A and B are shown apart, each in its own frame.
Chain A
Amino acid sequence: MQCTVIAETVGDSLHPITSQLIGAASSLGASPIVVVPGGIGSEEAASIDGVSKVVSVVGDCFSTFDGGAWATALSPQCNGVIITGATSNGREVAARIAAKRGVPIIQDVTGLSDGITITRPIYSGKAVETTTVSGDCVITLRANAFDSAGSGGSAAVNVVDQSVDVSIAVKEAINKATERLDVSEADIIISGGRGIGQKENFSHLEEVADIIGAAVGASRAVVDEWGMPHSMQVGQTGKTVTPSLYIAVGISGAIQHLAGMRSSKYIVAINKDPEAPIFGVADYGIVATWEDAVPALKAALSSL
């Protein structure tokens, strides 16, 4: 089977999802071509196991994100089944490439098997859909849903200069207030909900986050009512996250919140109400007030 992986980059290196995309392609029996937008991390891509060839696509268009321009520059290098990450940029480029080529796209895939049979969550995880694709298609894969490929490869790198007009110009950059890790990037997340009383109490969660290198998330209720940034919101109208560890503090577990975090690998719930629905998805539930549990958590994590 012919397969192309479009690499995802962050800053000046490959995003870790790239290796997962290659791992997933290999699991279908493919030796994928890896197309690298802007050429960032091409050598690193060439060293990943199972890669048949790296095409480093360079051009001015890669200095600004314009999904349309990127798709125009990358599509000619792609063949067969095209795989990207289900990140916001990955989804956009993938959708444009699919529309350009007139092939179907299936987004946010969490399972793949021969044929190709694809599973993905729908209704924000309230159901799962299994589909079969015949012919070429574009698929985007959810982060952390597939095992990474190993390293040790030594594929050739071809450089292609592709000049494409960009139709979007950045006029003003607004830096975020904090340098905190984003919930969609984090391997550990500690989230707070209405149960922690007031906005100021998030500082206690931030202290825990600092100890274990976690991101801080929030439920919709506190984003809407206390004015926490929407970028922190986990749930159906916020971010869908799949960290290794998700710690929910004072979050009752509305169906919309569960939709955004239920596929985390391990879930810890701290809530004073033993009947809170969040305990239904928790691997480890602690029935306690946050005032008692969070200092204990800080102490226990500090002494690890």
Chain B
Amino acid sequence: MTIAVLLKQVPDTTAKITVSNGRVDENAVSKWSFSPYDEYALEAALQLKESMGGELVAITAGPARCEKLLRDAAAVGADNLVHISAENINDFDSTQMQKLLAAAVEKSGSSVVFCGKQAADTNSGSTGPGVAELIGASCITMVSEVISDSGGYLATRPSSSGHEKVAVSAPCVFAFDKGVVEMRRPNVRGIMMAKKKPIETWSIEELGLDLGTSGISIDSHSPPAEKPPGQKFEGADSVSTVVGKLRDEANVI
């Protein structure tokens, strides 16, 4: 069995985002990392593979810098690495991005797909369910744990009263929230092996895709609106003043 993990390289959550000429300046990003939810997905996929055998293929789309992400995934245990070469994935709309990833999942022969519930840059959460729709799979989102169970899978997700365990069969997509276990750290042997691991690079043409044109156009990026400076008070004696202001100025209590 082949398990696919969809990974996205994003600016590290500690990185400052700067805007120049109406676009987020990627050259100013100090550090690129796994999108945090993808790390939980990768760890859960590794554990599932360890419990039932099979192969794990790590798939990412983006420019050349994304190869580092695949090496990092290999260092913790990904068996095969696929880089969908695309210079500026930010110009794709959701339809185009999902077509690309769905084609790669199908080409990899995977019947189970792990991904993060949303990426830390676009914050959308469309990829997991969208890819599931295109490959005709079930999808469970906000997952924190997946185990194999009587030929299928048992996934834990939130419910209105707490959590629930739901059963699902392949083909299926699991979109991960923060999981139960943090991503393992690579050991030296893993890092050495990862350096030698071949990366398969697939172009959009090789995937046999005609992505058409994007249905949306990005007009601009801008920094978040500056908040006017607030009022600052010293000492706990001011608490009652602030509570009064919350009632009379802000009308929120």
Contact = CB atoms under 8 A, between A and B. Distances in A.
Nearest to A224: B182
A103 to B, nearest CB: 7
A264 to B, nearest CB: 10
Given A129-B218, A170-B164, A105 B243 contact: no
Interface stretch (A18-26, A54-62, A66-74, A153-161): A66-74
B121 A174 contact: no
A1 interface: no
A95 interface: yes
A86 to B, nearest CB: 9
**Most chain A C-beta atoms within 10 Å of own C-beta, residue among B169, B220, B239:** B239
Interface residues on chain B, size class: 35 or more
Contacts of B154: 171
Main secondary structure of the interface of B (DSSP, over half): mixed
A304 B139 contact: no
Interface in B140-196: 140-142, 144, 154, 156, 158-169, 172, 177-178
Given A175-B162, A236-B13, A285 B232 contact: yes
A200 to B, nearest CB: 21
B123 A107 contact: yes
B214 interface: yes
A221 interface: no
B239 A293 contact: yes
A168 B243 contact: no
Contacts of A92: 125, 128-129, 139, 141
Given A117-B219, A287-B233, A236 B141 contact: no
Contact of A174 (B19, B164, B169, B250): B164
A267 to B, nearest CB: 8
Contacts of B167: 168-171
A136 to B, nearest CB: 8
Contacts of A126: 16-17, 224
A174 B215 CA distance: 42
Interface in A133-149: 133-135, 137
B119 to A, nearest CB: 10
Contacts of B139: 67-68, 92, 96
A104 B17 contact: no
A304 B246 CA distance: 11
B88 to A, nearest CB: 15
B123 A124 contact: yes
Interface string A210-251: 001000000000000000001101001110100011000000
B94 A265 contact: no
Interface string B234-250: 11111110111111001
Given A134-B217, A289-B236, 14 more contacts: A68-B137, A98-B94, A104-B95, A167-B169, A168-B167, A169-B168, A174-B164, A231-B158, A245-B250, A283-B250, A285-B232, A286-B236, A297-B239, A297-B243
Closest 7 CB pairs of A and B: A292-B236, A176-B162, A99-B133, A296-B239, A95-B129, A300-B243, A126-B17
Interface of B: 11, 13-14, 16-17, 19, 24, 36-37, 93-95, 98, 117, 120-134, 137-142, 144, 154, 156, 158-169, 172, 177-178, 214-225, 227, 230-240, 242-247, 250, 252-253
